[in-house]
């Protein structure tokens, strides 16, 4: 609401009053984000230290079992070093830490400027009329931004997961069935089962139904 100020006799000037809007959930969001950042730092440090220790143990084991390194293989002959278990451990733990980093980035609390833009989108005449949106509208805008950030996180996590799990699929099939000859699920030598496609397809379907579709329907209703 504007306030009328008396500047000269008979002259009144209306100025907008900027009243800060208290968002009850913002403090909780900030505290949650701080905890996420702390867990991410611990996760990165643990992943780095674990990778160093695991690499050392793997090198010592392969050296003692198969002698000096000559090639990556899984037959167990002299000079054959099998990278499957080491790679699986590093990739899967890296996927966990990477997902934590994506959550910190995409699900961070929206800043005031982002909330203002969302408020303008929901109520385009708010700025034109020089009135400040009420607390309910700003909470709605912040909630929509949180849902959008959550959707973006799941999409980014899906992409990261496909990038990290595809080598896992290849290594497991190489370990079990040898050199690639054909895509098949008969478990014969040379037959590789592309289970990563089923995992990725089901994962993408869950994201679409659980996050993308409700976001789209809510946008249309709004």
User: Which of the four pLDDT bands, split at 50, 70 and 90, describes residue 187?
Assistant: confident
pLDDT exceeds cutoff 70 at 7: no
**What are 85-110's pLDDT values in tens digits?**
999 999 999 999 999 999 999 999 88
The helix-helix angle for 135-177 and 213-221 (nearest 10°) equals 160
Q: What H or E segment, with its residue span, contains residue 64?
A: helix 24-66
Confidence of residue 220 (pLDDT cuts 50, 70, 90): low
Report the number of secondary-structure helices (H) and strands (E) in the chain. 7, 6
Contact yes or no for 169/88 (Cβ under 8 A): no
**What are the structure tokens assigned to 113, written together?**
């400027």
Query: Cα separation of 188 and 180, whole Å?
Result: 11
Strands (E), 21-98: 71-72, 80-81
Using CB atoms within 10 A of its CB, is residue 142 exposed (0-12), middle (13-18) or buried (19+)? Answer: buried
Phi, psi of 41 (to 5 degrees): -60, -45
- Taking residues 151-178, report their average pLDDT: 93
90 or 131, greater pLDDT: 90
Q: What is the DSSP letter of 154?
A: H
CA distances to 156, 160, 167, 214 from 200, rounded to whole Å, are 13, 11, 13, 21
pLDDT in tens, 8-57: 555 444 444 343 444 556 788 888 999 999 999 999 999 999 999 999 99
Burial of 191 (0-12, 13-18, 19+ CB in 10 A): middle
pLDDT in tens, 62-83: 999 999 999 998 888 899 999 9
90 bridge partner residues: none
Report in angstroms the alpha-carbon separations of 93 from 107, 192, 198, 204: 21, 24, 21, 21
Positive or negative torsion for Cα 93, 97, 102, 103:
positive
- Domain boundaries defined on the chain: 22-221
């Amino acid at each position: 609401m504007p306030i009328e100020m008396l500047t000269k006799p008979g002259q009144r000037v209306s100025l907008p009053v900027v009243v800060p809007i208290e968002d009850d959930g913002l403090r909780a969001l900030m505290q949650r984000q701080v905890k996420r950042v702390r867990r991410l730092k611990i996760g990165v440090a643990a992943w780095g230290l674990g990778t160093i220790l695991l690499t050392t143990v793997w090198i010592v084991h392969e050296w003692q079992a198969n002698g000096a390194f000559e090639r990556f293989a899984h037959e167990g002959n002299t000079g054959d070093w099998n990278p499957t278990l080491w790679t699986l451990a590093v990739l899967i733990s890296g996927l966990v830490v990477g997902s934590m980093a994506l959550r910190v980035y995409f699900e961070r609390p929206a800043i005031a400027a982002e909330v203002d833009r969302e408020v303008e989108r929901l109520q385009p005449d708010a700025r034109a009329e020089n009135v400040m949106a009420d607390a309910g509208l700003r909470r709605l805008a912040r909630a929509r931004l949180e849902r959008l950030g959550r959707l973006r996180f799941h999409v980014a996590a899906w992409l990261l997961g496909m990038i990290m799990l595809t080598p896992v699929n290849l290594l497991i099939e190489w370990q079990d069935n040898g050199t690639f000859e054909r895509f098949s699920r008969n478990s014969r030598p040379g037959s590789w089962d592309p289970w990563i496609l089923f995992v990725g397809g089901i994962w993408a379907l869950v994201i679409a139904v659980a996050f993308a579709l409700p976001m789209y329907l809510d946008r249309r209703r709004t």
